[in-house]
Amino acid sequence: MNIGSAIFLGIVQGLAEFLPISSSGHLSVLQNLFHLNSLEDGHLFFDVLLHLGTLVSIFVCYWKDIKDMVREVFVVLRGGRTASGEAVQGRLPAARLFMMLVIATLPLVLIVPVNGLVEELYYHSWFIGIAFLLTGCLLYVSDRMAPGRKTEKNMRIRDALIIGCCQCVATIPGLSRSGTTITAGIAAGLDRQFAMRFSFLLSIPAVLGANILGIVDAIQSDFDLALLPVYLVGMLAAVISGIGAITLMKLISRKNKFGFFTYYCWAAGIVTLVLSLGY
């Protein structure tokens, strides 16, 4: 692997992780159809660093939310009092948001027994093409849903579970995690901008869990220390492109339209299906 490939893969990971177009699907297509594979020849550690880069992007863009959740959770653990012992008046929306994120993460345990089957799908480009088409359909539907008003202050446990179950389905390569969970949130009555914020914050435990599992495999694989600078450059590219993608999604959520991504996913699906016929 050279620096050019590392930067390219980092940009793809950062953009596709947060734009509703499926990072796993794009990386799989690059691997299967164009033989640009970050996991070959001992590069499994590089894949872990790419995901770590997207995690850093979320922390940079949502640091205030994360800081507020940590602070309010500690207030709850102290019986509703601040560190100085002063009683907190009123609700704690950030602590409630944290609770909803935990609840929405719980359904991911359902994936563990079938994780091997899901990973097998990464090698079937025709299936990924179909998943791209389904992602486009989800985005098309989300643009036509009536706007909701729920936020962390009044969303229900049922809403969190619905979004969490949809996140499980979105582990299928080619089906966008962000697109699926945002659409599920809008369908559950969440405010569109909050649905996007909830989706991105929800990716923290999902990406962190995948990184922990990946680190175990990466340690057991062959790792060429000389390639570490190249890996870090790719990780930096993932961080920068991830921040750019999140910023773009914030702007798009205010416009209430995912139209461009709808047509992009349909086009990507058709191209992937056509190219897969030759393999």
pLDDT in tens, 265-274: 999 999 999 9
Residue in the structure block whose two tokens are 């914020």:
197
Q: Which has more confidence, 242 or 17?
A: 242
Domain extent for 86:
3-276
Instruction: Decide if 178 contacts 199 (C-beta within 8 A).
Output: yes
- pLDDT above 60 (res 88): yes
| Across 168-194, average pLDDT | 93
How many beta carbons lie within 10 A of that of residue 211, not counting itself?
18
**Which residue type occupies 143?**
D
How many beta carbons lie within 10 A of that of residue 176, not counting itself?
30
pLDDT confidence band for 132 (50 / 70 / 90): very high
Q: Which has more confidence, 213 or 149?
A: 149
What sign for the dihedral angle of Cα 45, 51, 54, 59? negative
Burial class of 189 by CB neighbour count within 10 A (0 to 12, 13 to 18, 19+): middle
pLDDT confidence band for 51 (50 / 70 / 90): confident
CA distance 39 to 57: 22
* Residue 34, CB-side half-sphere exposure with 13 Å CA sphere: 11
Pick from 42, 108, 33: nearest CA to 271: 33
DSSP E strand stretches across the chain: none
Residue 36 confidence (pLDDT) = 63
Which residues 6+ apart lie within 8 Å of 72 measured at CB? Answer: 92, 93, 94, 95, 98
Instruction: Decide if 179 contacts 261 (C-beta within 8 A).
Output: yes
> What is the count of structural domains for the chain?
1
**Which residue type occupies 110?**
L
pLDDT tens figures, 251-262: 888 876 788 899
